[in-house]
């Protein structure tokens, strides 16, 4: 049976509000104590070991440290999702990137988890300099690319709903559709493995949790047909999917105040949990589902190489 992986970006309420330009983020509101036990329960019910990308600034808080301890105790991999969760790492200097990674690593280690060897940039933000720093710091893989053409459309939606007018270079351009939809090695540093967040083969539209839930909000039947079709195309095209989830995939609107702008937030939390269970069951029927670190280990022996010039074309 082919391998697939599931990962969770543990973005907190304040991080969503910060990216959206809502000044309420400065109060650092959190939904971790609601979301994390619920997610771990779903993973446990489906006997899944996943990878959780955590934000260093959260891990320094009591609820974030508790979350990392619970995630680690349940056997899941803890990976680095930056320190401050700013989706514009592509604007950072090399020195700033080093500090960003180091601060998150230190917070993760202080919370009792092993030093991370995987990274995902907030907002799929990645540059050659970031890859070089990751390789120098001993990381095994990056998981920051989303090979789709909808970045400008997502940015337009985001900016239309943002109170401060939004940001003109979030989420990349249409050229990202040309990025690979399967794992490869970057020809930089020590040959860091890139495990993209899988999009639907051929159509290159997203299939991760928030997009599925936006479809579910329109029609549960449509969402199920869409994901079933995506799994079928992955099998037919030999793509080993890497499925991305977020805490909002199990939270209702009342549990994430201020996030009415986010896809799928009109779906009640209990219905989200039920749908997520169906998604995971569907994936497990056709693939051996693991975390991203294990997925990379299984793939690493025979991967094509890619030059970082791809980043310039896909930015």
Is residue 92 a part of any domain in this protein?
A: yes
Question: What pLDDT is stored for residue 210 in this prediction?
Answer: 95
Q: Could you report the per-residue pLDDT of 273-307, keeping only the tens digit for each?
A: 999 999 999 999 999 999 999 999 999 887 988 87
- Burial (0-12, 13-18, 19+ Cβ within 10 Å), 98: middle
CATH of the domain at 36: 3.20.20.370
Question: How many folded domains does the chain comprise?
Answer: 1
Is residue 276 a part of any domain in this protein?
A: no
Is residue 277 a part of any domain in this protein?
A: no
Measured between alpha carbons, how far is 237 from 60 in angstroms, rounded to an integer? 42
Please, which contacts does 230-239 make with residues 24 or more away whose CB atoms are closer than 8 Å?
230/200, 230/201, 231/282, 231/283, 231/286, 233/200, 233/201, 233/202, 233/203, 234/4, 234/198, 234/201, 235/2, 235/286, 236/201, 237/201, 237/202, 238/2, 239/181, 239/182, 239/198, 239/201
Question: What pLDDT is stored for residue 305 in this prediction?
Answer: 86
Can you list the residues of the chain whose pLDDT is less than 70?
150-175, 189, 309-315
Question: What pLDDT is stored for residue 32 in this prediction?
Answer: 98
Domain that holds residue 86: 3-200+240-247+288-314
Phi, psi dihedrals of residue 169, rounded to the nearest 5°: -125, 25
Is residue 209 a part of any domain in this protein?
A: no
Q: Which residues of 259-295 are buried (b: 16+ CB within 10 A; e: fewer)?
A: bebbbbbebebeebbebbeebbeebbeebebbbbbbb
Is residue 279 a part of any domain in this protein?
A: no
Is residue 210 a part of any domain in this protein?
A: no
Question: What pLDDT is stored for residue 314 in this prediction?
Answer: 44
């Amino acid at each position: 049976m082919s391998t697939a992986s599931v990962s969770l970006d543990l973005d907190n309420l304040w991080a969503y509000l910060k990216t959206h330009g809502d000044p309420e983020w400065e109060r650092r509101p959190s939904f971790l104590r609601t979301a994390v036990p619920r997610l771990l329960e779903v993973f446990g019910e489906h006997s899944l070991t996943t990878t959780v990308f955590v934000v260093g600034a959260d891990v320094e808080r009591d609820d974030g440290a508790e979350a990392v301890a619970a995630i680690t105790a349940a056997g899941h991999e803890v990976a680095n999702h930056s320190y401050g969760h700013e989706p514009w790492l592509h604007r950072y200097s090399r020195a700033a990137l080093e500090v960003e990674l180091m601060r998150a690593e230190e917070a993760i280690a202080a919370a009792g988890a092993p030093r991370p060897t995987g990274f995902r940039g907030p907002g799929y933000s990645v540059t050659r300099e970031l890859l070089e720093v990751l390789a120098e710091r001993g990381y095994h893989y990056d998981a920051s690319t989303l090979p789709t053409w909808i970045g400008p459309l997502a940015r337009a939606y985001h900016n239309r709903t943002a109170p401060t007018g939004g940001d003109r270079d979030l989420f990349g351009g249409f050229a990202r559709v040309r990025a690979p939809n399967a794992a490869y090695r970057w020809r930089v540093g020590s040959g860091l493995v890139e495990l993209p967040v899988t999009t639907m083969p051929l159509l290159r539209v997203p299939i991760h949790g928030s997009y599925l839930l936006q479809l579910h909000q329109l029609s549960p039947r449509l969402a199920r047909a869409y994901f079933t079709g995506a799994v079928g195309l992955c099998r037919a095209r030999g793509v080993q999917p890497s499925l991305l989830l977020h805490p909002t995939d199990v939270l209702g609107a009342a549990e994430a105040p201020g996030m009415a702008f986010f896809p799928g937030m009109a779906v009640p939390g209990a219905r989200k949990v039920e749908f997520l269970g169906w998604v995971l069951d569907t994936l497990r029927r056709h693939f051996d589902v693991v975390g991203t670190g294990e997925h990379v280990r299984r793939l690493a022996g025979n991967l094509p190489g890619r030059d970082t010039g791809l980043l310039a074309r896909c930015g």
